[in-house]
Structure 1
Amino acid sequence: MQTPEDEQQTPPTLQELAGRSLLKDKSRAILALEDLPIQLFPPLFMEAFSRGHTEVLKKMVQAWPFTRLPLGALMKKPQLEMIQAALDGLDMLAAQQDRPRRWKLQVLDLRKVHGNFWRTWSGAVVDACSPGVMKERQTVKASPDTGPTLPLKVLVNLRFQQRILNAFHSFLFRWVDERKGLIQLCCKKLQMCSLPICTIEKILERLDLDFIQQLDVQCFWRLSTLATFATYWGQMSNLRKLFFSHVYVSAYASQEERDQLMDDITSQFSKMDSLRRLYLDGVFFLEGRLCQVLRLLKTPLETLSITDCQLSDPDWNDLSGSPNLDQLIHLMLWGSKLTSFSPEPLVILLENAAATLETLNLQDCGITNSQLQAILPVLSCCSQLRVLSFNGNDISMSVLSNLLLHTSRMTRLSLEKYPAPLESYDAQGAIHPGRLFQLIDELMEILRDVREPKNVLFYTKPCHKCGNWFIYNLPSSPCRCWLPA
């Protein structure tokens, strides 16, 4: 589908001209649908959509000859009028006793995916007649012997950023509620921010929970609210990613009440048969129970992200004993203070995941020189690393030099973040520009001697004036206070 800007630059294709000609007479276009070749349905639909021909869209939905209609891929953001036209078409179809002979629609996809469908059928693919494209066209054709099934699936990704539903969500839910038993509302990615639990419960009761694969919860909830919500996520048998941010424990809850709520919450993790990515951000309710949760999981994690969290001694010491962390690809502990902890659990964790680990983020963890020295031997075995972040820790020049020497086998690194050496600052903690550049030049020379670096950044501490970091090797560094004008 061409944008108005594209139309000014490139002449329309014969196919587009034919579609526009047909759409000039809406009645003729609607009558032509019964005999329209299947391969012309997608480009004509795109043309009708881009020009707002809602009546034609309604009729095309009723005659759609494919099992899936990826409507969302045509919209940068939900266009309520066009979505309503498609849904009105389905309603008109449901009222008919005899359905069009070629109608095969089983899935209405409102997500911003499946753009390949439209590119393939619009002729926008350069080699439109290549075997690969022809095979793809054959796979999306519906067999004449295959009829539509009920209920119709409506696929959406839902993101709620306000305490009230927007116009699109309100319309969609009302439409689904009025057609219970006829519509199966399926959401793969669900993100919730600031919604009250009563609203969330109503939303979840409308969804097929088995279909949810990614759940993102960023709500300032009490523990009791989370316990209510946990009964739903325990039913999400195909959940692969779980992100939690900022859940707090009420000061008025007794210890007995807290323990009971935590038992209710943690027990739900044992029902997650597919969870592979776990993100905990600013979450304190799992303090002392983290390893219990990890042991309840049924599958090894690919991603463990514990950021800006308070870990207890038992949490940290038992972390390395979890069998579900032996295949980690991404380990992020950003902002979780490790200063007072033994480095041994991290050594064991890195040793177990050395063959698979691609991301290691230890930014702002309060790691000391001695702790870093302790993990260097095992860190050097993590040859699959692509991203390595140590910035935000107080590390001396000698230890940083040793760290870089231990990265010689990490030839796949594409992004490295390190702190400026402690020797870069004066007695008052202010950056000394000349010394900083000299030391970093020396570190880069060390790095170039052992391998070919790609993107290496050095971060100072926050500036006393602007509060931002100066980032060496980044032209658009947030802080440039002490650089010459």
Structure 2
Amino acid sequence: MSLQTRPRLLNLAAVSLLRDEASAITALEYLPIELFPTLFMEAFRGSRSETLKAMVCAWPFVRLPLGGLMQKPHMGTLQAVLDGLDILLAQKKHSKRCKLRVLDLRNTGQDFWKMWSGSSVHVSSSSSMTPVAEVRSRTEQPLAPLEVFIELHFKESTTDDFIYLMRWVEQRKTSIHLCSTKLKITSISLENIMQVLGIVQLDYIQEVEVNCIWHLSTLAMFAPFLGQMSNIQRLHLSHIHGLAFEEEEEYYHVVQITSQFRKLYHLRDLYLETPSFLEGCLIQMLR
């Protein structure tokens, strides 16, 4: 059988299974691992929420790169997958088949889906099985919280699926870790930003870009969160303006900011578009 023929047969098998959704869900326990991604893609395209929910509980890979399928917000799919995670979290004894530890909602993972759909036929079958083998030793130990990776971009408008996800995570903080490697802020409001950052694993963040007008006092309020981003490597701050503060108050804000900067031991790239507020203390900050 050619490599190009095999994916077409998998697609046909997945479509055939989904004609009877109840039977498809029952068959998950015995389904060959190779058929899982294809069946998931077909269930996603057909908005088969019950199948998606059940597949999360039996997912035989460490990572589920859902964001690679959702080119735009898809509330129904997100709810189905999160419902599946709830079932998984409620299980006292997890299925031996399920290896899921990471739900990735970032716009990544396309290679995974292409590989299983046949678009990248150069990937060997042995490498495609690696995710299953990776966690066999881990499953014998107490399970750490599930990780949900997102693209953390604060804008003026917020989508319904983002709000839904934040509420869902906040109610499950002990069993779900919300993670992001990049933080981008183009919104002026800090209140909502601080609320979300309160449930994010800040030590996962490696890049921060603030591209909006902030006053010095706003940056001082944000600074304690910045200080917890212990693995940050790139920091970009633009449009930081001082107000008509008393000299003592301005000094207090600067001290708040620089004291947190000095905790960023892994920082390699620092860009300050308006660094005038650091006049006289830049050398001390960079020691």
Both structures adopt the same fold (TM-score exceeding 0.5): yes
Contact 2:173 2:199 (C-alpha < 8 Å) held by counterparts: no
Q: Partners of 1:208 and 1:69 in 2: how far apart? A: 19
Corresponding position: 1:66 with 2:61: yes
Q: Partners of 2:180 and 2:35 in 1: how far apart? A: 30
1:346-361 → structure 2 map (5 Å cutoff): none
CA drift at 1:109: 0.8
Match of 1:76 in 2: 71
1:408-419 → structure 2 map (5 Å cutoff): none
SS at match of 2:29: helix
Q: Partners of 1:264 and 1:278 in 2: how far apart? A: 18
Q: Partners of 1:256 and 1:146 in 2: how far apart? A: 54
Match of 2:257 in 1: 265
**Structure with greater contact order relative to length (CA < 8 Å, sep ≥ 6):** 2
Q: Aligned to 1:158, which of 152, 160, 175?
A: 152
Match of 2:3 in 1: none
SS at match of 1:35: coil
CA drift at 1:291: 4.3
Q: Partners of 1:248 and 1:140 in 2: how far apart? A: 48
Contact 1:211 1:236 (C-alpha < 8 Å) held by counterparts: yes
Match of 1:120 in 2: 115
Structure with larger Rg: 1
Change (3 A) 1:288 1:145: closer
CA drift at 1:197: 2.2
**Residues 58-108 of structure 1 deviation map (CA, whole Å, 9 limit, x = unaligned):** 000010111111111112133221111100111123334443231111111
**Residues 190-248 of structure 1 deviation map (CA, whole Å, 9 limit, x = unaligned):** 11122422222211110111001111112322211211111111111110111111111
Corresponding position: 1:277 with 2:269: yes
Q: Aligned to 1:190, which of 183, 186, 192?
A: 183
Unaligned runs of 5+ in 1: 1-11, 297-485
More deviation in 28-37 or 277-286?
A: 277-286
Contact 2:103 2:148 (C-alpha < 8 Å) held by counterparts: yes
CA drift at 1:122: 2.6
SS at match of 2:148: strand
Q: Partners of 1:277 and 1:51 in 2: how far apart? A: 45
Amino acid at match of 2:149: L
Match of 1:211 in 2: 204
Q: Aligned to 1:256, which of 233, 244, 248?
A: 248
Amino acid at match of 1:109: D
**Residues 128-185 of structure 1 deviation map (CA, whole Å, 9 limit, x = unaligned):** 4xxxx344313212455542723111111111111x5331221111001111201111
Q: Partners of 1:141 and 1:202 in 2: how far apart? A: 36
SS at match of 1:206: coil
Contact 1:160 1:195 (C-alpha < 8 Å) held by counterparts: no
Contact 2:89 2:175 (C-alpha < 8 Å) held by counterparts: no
Q: Partners of 1:94 and 1:262 in 2: how far apart? A: 44
Change (3 A) 1:196 1:33: same
SS at match of 1:150: coil
Q: Partners of 2:84 and 2:177 in 1: how far apart? A: 17
**Residues 429-469 of structure 1 deviation map (CA, whole Å, 9 limit, x = unaligned):** xxxxxxxxxxxxxxxxxxxxxxxxxxxxxxxxxxxxxxxxx
Q: Partners of 1:127 and 1:187 in 2: how far apart? A: 30
Match of 1:435 in 2: none
- Tell me how many residue pairs correspond in the alignment: 278
Contact 1:213 1:241 (C-alpha < 8 Å) held by counterparts: yes
Contact 1:72 1:78 (C-alpha < 8 Å) held by counterparts: no
Identity of aligned residues (%): 47
Match of 2:278 in 1: 286
Q: Partners of 1:125 and 1:151 in 2: how far apart? A: 32
CA drift at 1:270: 1.4
Match of 1:176 in 2: 169
Q: Partners of 2:269 and 2:209 in 1: how far apart? A: 11
Q: Partners of 1:101 and 1:285 in 2: how far apart? A: 57
1:446-465 → structure 2 map (5 Å cutoff): none
**Normalising by structure 2, what TM-score?**
0.89
Q: Aligned to 1:239, which of 232, 238, 245?
A: 232
Unaligned runs of 5+ in 2: 1-6
Q: Partners of 2:77 and 2:277 in 1: how far apart? A: 44
Q: Partners of 1:94 and 1:267 in 2: how far apart? A: 39
Q: Partners of 2:65 and 2:122 in 1: how far apart? A: 22
SS at match of 2:78: helix
Q: Partners of 1:106 and 1:198 in 2: how far apart? A: 31
More helix by share: 2
Contact 1:104 1:146 (C-alpha < 8 Å) held by counterparts: no
More deviation in 57-66 or 67-76?
A: 67-76
Corresponding position: 1:222 with 2:215: yes
Match of 1:434 in 2: none
Corresponding position: 1:199 with 2:192: yes
Q: Partners of 1:255 and 1:284 in 2: how far apart? A: 14
**Normalising by structure 1, what TM-score?**
0.54
